Amino acid sequence: MTIFAVASHGSESYLSWVVFASLVIGGAVTALQATTLGRLGSGYILLMGPAAPFMAVCVLAVSAGGLPLMSSLIVAASLVQFALAFWLAQLRRIITPVVSGVAFMVIAASAMPIGVARLDDVPAGLSPLAGPAVGAATLFAAAVLMLRGSGIWRLLAIPITILVGCVVAVPLGAYDFRGALDAPWFALPEFSAWPGLGHLDTHFLALLPAFLIVSVVVAIKAGNEGAAIQQVSWRRPRAIDFRGVQGTLNAGGVGVLLSGIAGMLPVLIYLPSSMALIGFTGVAARRTGYVIGAMLIGLALLPKVVALLLTIPRPVTGAILMVVMGLLFVEGVRTVLQDGFNQQKAVIVAVSLSIGIGLRAENILTDALGSPWGVAFGNSIVVGVLAAVLMSVVMDMTVSRRRRMEAELDIEALPAIDSFLRELAGRVGWDQAATDRLCAAGEETLSSMLQLRDDYEEDQPPRLVIIARHRAGSVEMEFLAVSPEENIEDRIAYMSEQAEAPDVSEISFRLLRHYASSVRHRKYHGIDIVTVQVDA
């Protein structure tokens, strides 16, 4: 935020205002993310604060029309977050595990050099080895605490790691805390520094496409982050609840909206910090998010504490960033591989990483496209993720035509489903054994969905939509219906860990696991999508 204020030629009163506003809004939205208030909030710990993706276009907006113009554009861009959350189920073929994994890997690969560069960021006149020595001590402490720490040691891993780095930095002269001594203990900002909102003029219309594009990419990234935080927050792996992802996007939209109203750089998710907090401490309870949010709001009134935190040596933060980005890259690889790996996925990952990492070193699009598009595509993460999205869309459009049928979510729909699947199998030339296996998988999927809606009490059963299409050597079926509470994917995974004891209520799940090569259950607000793949 300080870098942005300086880049936009803001006054000292404006800097004081945005630091105060960023802490208050970041704390409020961090607490909101930890809730499940209707469709707001993910229910997980997601630290929020001003982030860099919007910085380039925000500086451009300030240069064109001042801070009020930037504020209006950010408010308009926040609507993208809410729209993507609303249509997330319809966009499921765009925001795929491959796209999510590529986003994690590109983000990690782009941030790793930043962490390494911080290892050498020490005051002038010190030994060239001072920064690397501090960084090495911090890395060693972080690795020991993550590998061997438990109990209270793991809970205090982050403070201990920072403390070790600071202690090593003191005798080397790399730690200067004098800047915190002059800061007051309690202070309020100058509220007159609030820039207000601008008018909808030609500058607004010219820059709006660039802000919307950045907001789309940020929304896709936020969706991936909402999925990633679920994976690291549970000791026992479980299927992603996309209702939580929708809540993540909605809460993020609130953060961007409030940031626009406040006239500051948008508040976004700090996924590395969130993952570091959970990874170091092993604590993922949502009440921790409430406490962190309250602490950030409290810090807004305590400039001395904020100034003290800002004195942490850069090599210390760089070493922690390297560890977290390494973990994020591994999480990206795991996300890509979660549904298997084939040649198409390999090409998407390879090309996207080549573009994202290559442009990180030399972004030729910035000068080639000019303003404002060059600014929008000046971020290598944006281009890398967009490349993965576009290739995923192309791959999805080039497969065989989808076939669709509708029925009621009732056992009486079974004959129609059987006829529909046999007709599809006949069209693609499957033999009798493969056709029977496909129909059996369809029957057990229907039975499994019926078992998970026992509490459905309305007079009419929900509608069931089946979308099926042939891929090379397999048929993929999507069953869309009103949400039950339990997750079929989790139920099958749970049975895989248990003894094969006979249980009548689990027969359909066991048979489905037998007939299908993969089962994925995505839960959204108002709709469930069960995707079943059957090999020939």
pLDDT in tens, 474-520: 888 888 876 555 555 555 454 444 444 444 445 666 666 666 777 77
Angle subtended by helix axes 157-172 and 271-281, to nearest 10: 100
As for how many domains the chain has, the answer is 2
| pLDDT tens, position by position, 111-153 | 778 778 878 877 777 888 888 888 888 888 888 887 776 666 7
Q: For the whole prediction, is pTM greater than 0.75? A: no
How big is the chain by its Cα radius of gyration, in Å?
A: 26
Is the preceding omega at residue 372 within 30 degrees of 0, hence cis? Answer: yes
What are residue 528's DSSP bridge partners? 481, 523
- pLDDT at residue number 501: 46
Is 281 inside a domain boundary?
yes
Query: Are 76 and 24 contained in the same domain?
Result: yes
Query: Are 44 and 109 contained in the same domain?
Result: yes
Collapsing DSSP to helix, strand or coil, 467 comes out as strand
Query: Are 116 and 200 contained in the same domain?
Result: yes
The candidate with the shortest Cα–Cα distance to 265, out of 4, 81, 27, 8, is 4
Query: Are 334 and 478 contained in the same domain?
Result: no
Is 458 inside a domain boundary?
yes
Helix extents (H) in 282-413: 286-299, 303-310, 314-337, 343-361, 365-369, 373-376, 380-397
Cβ neighbours around 496 below 10 Å, total:
10
Among the candidates 395, 426, 447, a domain finishes at 395
Is 168 inside a domain boundary?
no
Look over the chain and give the mean of its residue pLDDT values, rounded to a whole number.
77
Highest mean pLDDT among 14-18, 121-125, 184-188, 351-355: 351-355
Is 146 inside a domain boundary?
no
Find all residues with CB under 8 Å of 93, minimum gap 6, and list them.
392, 393, 396
Query: Are 366 and 468 contained in the same domain?
Result: no
Query: Are 272 and 193 contained in the same domain?
Result: yes
Query: Are 188 and 273 contained in the same domain?
Result: yes
Among the candidates 354, 377, 395, a domain finishes at 395
Task: Tell me the CA distances in angstroms from 132 to 124, 135, 139, 169, 319, one per residue in order.
Answer: 14, 5, 10, 10, 9
Task: Point out the least confidently predicted range of 160-174, 185-199, 202-216, 450-464.
Answer: 450-464
Q: Look up the domain containing 420 and give its range.
A: 403-535
Query: Are 353 and 487 contained in the same domain?
Result: no
d(CA 289, CA 31): 5
CATH number, domain of 464, equals 3.30.565.10
Tokens standing for residue 298: 């409290």
CB 437 within 8 A of CB 454: no
Among the candidates 395, 416, 450, a domain finishes at 395
CB 481 within 8 A of CB 491: no
CB 187 within 8 A of CB 61: no
CB 85 within 8 A of CB 257: no
DSSP string over 427-464: HTT--HHHHHHHHHHHHHHHHHHHHTTTT--SSSPPEE
